[in-house]
Amino acid sequence: MAKKTAIIASNGGLFEAYKVFNIATAAAASDHEVSIFFTFEGLNLIHKEANQQLPMPEGKEHFEEGFKKSNVPAIPELIEMAQDLDVKFIGCQMTMDVMGLEKDAFVDGIEVGGAVTFLDFAQDADVTLTF
Amino acid sequence: MVQTDKVLDAKGLACPMPIVKTKKVMKDMGSGEVLEVQATDKGSTADLQAWAKSSGHEYIGTETEGDVLLHYLRKDGANEVEETIEIPEVSLADFQARVENGDSLNILDVREQEEYDEAHIPGVKHIPLGEVENRMNELDQNQEIYIICYSGRRSGVAGDMMAKKGFKTLYNVVPGMRDWTGKTE
């Protein structure tokens, strides 16, 4: 049976985005079944507009050049790749309600669910990560 | 150099792209085929080794050409190890004695073309491991066949594949050409 990787993304910065999507795509490429639960600021990572310009942590802006030099793919590119590899995105319903966001503000193909939706997937996951 | 069936250019790409691209290309390849991944990401060596291990492919090795890493992977290579038929082994010394005694043996050399070109036992049949699956019908299933490679590993894999297809009497020469001191051409 395929291994399962469950990720919780709860922060909205550029660094978190790379942590989440790099691990997710690498796991999916290794034939893991992958689900990411986006909650609170983590929702920025899949927000159509917000994810184009995720902030660097304060004082770390000088890394921008390093990202360019290392030819690191842009976040929207990584998202496309992740979805291509069947990574499942779950947006947190409660956070969306609190922030007044609708499903169509996010990249296509996401599911919206509550904590239980994620727990159901995560309960027998082989790898569980929180970012 | 290993004979490759496909080449993937992942130069200039950062983690995890080399793995993601490898996965995509590998999906459309046939079992036993060899992929060459060209990468400049220094982490790709460890990554591809781990990836191959977890996805059931064989990591053959890495060569360096300037700044470029050339990784070689064989599709599904590792899975075959799980359900192998181990053919009987014959020691290189006994084998060599029989060859030098003038016994007419059917010898199959499964090393890569370059290794074969460098030196091989006179009169052997040569089929690189990657082609054994498709070309074993060039051999007679009912004859006794001695399979040899460099160390005895690939010949074991070949023996396993051939035994599964009905070859009756196979011997794996162990070690292999590495320690061969007899005649070559």
Taking the domains of chain B in order of start, what are their residue ranges? 6-79, 84-179
Taking the domains of chain A in order of start, what are their residue ranges? 12-89+112-125
Residue B80: partners with Cβ closer than 8 Å, 6 or more residues away: B157, B160, B161
- Helix/strand/coil (H/E/C) assignment for every residue in chain A: CCCEEEEEECCCCHHHHHHHHHHHHHHHHCCCEEEEEECHHHHHHHECCHHHCCCCCCCCCCHHHHHHHCCCCCHHHHHHHHHHCCCEEEEEHHHHHHHCCCHHHECCCCEEECHHHHHHHHCCCCEEEEC
Which chain B residues contact residue A85 at CB under 8 A? Answer: 20, 23
Phi/psi of residue A113, each to 5°? Answer: -160, 175
Instruction: Determine the average pLDDT of the residues in B36-46.
Output: 92
Taking 60 as the threshold, does the pLDDT of residue A113 lie above it?
Answer: yes
CA distance B20 to chain A (A): 5
Q: How many CB pairs under 8 A join A and B?
A: 35
Residue B162: partners with Cβ closer than 8 Å, 6 or more residues away: B132, B136, B139, B145, B147, B170
Strand A127-130's sheet: what is its strand order? A111-113, A88-92, A33-38, A4-9, A127-130
pLDDT in tens, B123-136: 999 999 989 989 99
pLDDT in tens, B149-174: 999 989 999 999 999 889 999 999 99
Q: Are A119 and A13 in contact (CB under 8 A)?
A: no
Say what the pLDDT of residue B71 is: 95
Say what the pLDDT of residue B136 is: 94
Among the partner residues B12, B13, B55, nearest to A30 by beta-carbon distance = B55
Confidence of residue B140 (pLDDT cuts 50, 70, 90): very high
Query: B interface mutation test: which of A25, A63, A126 has the most B CBs within 10 A?
Result: A25
CATH match for B84-179 among 3.90.550.10, 3.40.250.10, 3.30.1490.190, 1.10.40.50: 3.40.250.10
Across the interface, do A85 and B19 touch by the CB < 8 Å criterion?
no
Task: Tell me which CATH code domain B6-79 carries.
Answer: 3.30.110.40
% of chain B exceeding 70 in pLDDT: 96
Across the interface, do B47 and A30 touch by the CB < 8 Å criterion?
no
Give the span between the Cα atoms of A9 and B153, in whole angstroms.
Answer: 45
Paired sense of beta strands B68-74 and B34-39, if any: antiparallel
Taking 60 as the threshold, does the pLDDT of residue B1 lie above it?
Answer: no
